Amino acid sequence: MIENIQPKILKRAFATIVDYGIFYALIFFLINQFGVLSHDGSKSIKGIEAFLIPVYWFLYFPVCEYRFASTLGKLPFGLKVFSEEGKQITFLQAFKRRIIDPIDLFTYGIVAFLAVKFSQNHQRLGDMFANTIVIGGEALRCINCNSKLSLEANEIIDNSYSCPECEYNGKVKA
């Protein structure tokens, strides 16, 4: 049985920080390279460079998650996006789970955190809208040797795990 989802919520938070970090690094780069200095000394971007920002947001996440079920932030934590039925997501689903991101962004991730923590399938609002789930990193105790292991997304989908301690092959859900 999966016993603890707390580490997974942390992993999702860190994954988000990495992905948002890349996004903000891109904005920083664009403003630095193409920004126009205004009277108060600040720089701002216009036109095609400014247009790249939302384009990046609505391409990077959907393309990565559709193609690899993951992003640069999620990958190191073993997190993957699947449909609620445990299938590979469609591009439309990948796109839909981003449409209401502004709600998460403008609430500094608080709405996302609460939704993930308290909803039954640990979904963000975008996940609920797109019928997607993020899996991987769930903690489980091996029923053979009782050591604690972290499940890979594929192990949850296949409902079977291989214990690295005792090499026992068990089921995720009995």
Query: In the complex, which residues of this chain contact Zn ion (CB under 5 A)?
Result: 142, 144-145, 163, 165-166, 168
Angle between helix 110-118 and 6-34 (nearest 10): 160
Nearest to 97 by CA among 82, 109, 75: 82
**Least Å from the CB of residue 121 to Zn ion:** 27
Residue with smaller CB distance to Zn ion, 119 or 147: 147
In angstroms, the CA 108 to CA 17 distance is 11
User: At its nearest, how many Å lie between Zn ion and the CB of residue 92?
Assistant: 40
Distance CA 126, CA 145 (A): 38
Q: How many C-beta neighbours within 10 Å does residue 79 have?
A: 22
Beta carbon nearer to Zn ion, 121 or 146: 146
Smallest separation (angstroms) from Zn ion to the CB of 76: 24
With CA atoms as reference, report the closest residue to 73 among 131, 151, 135, 11. 11
Q: CB-wise, 158 or 165, nearer to Zn ion?
A: 165
* Nearest distance from C-beta of residue 168 to Zn ion, angstroms: 5
Chain centroid offset of residue 49 CA: 26
Specify the pairing of strand 169-170 against strand 161-162.
Answer: antiparallel
The answer to whether 111 and 101 have CB atoms below 8 angstroms apart is no
Closest to Zn ion by CB, 88 vs 162, is 162
**Min. distance of Cβ 169 from Zn ion in angstroms?**
10
Of 86 and 164, CB closest to Zn ion: 164
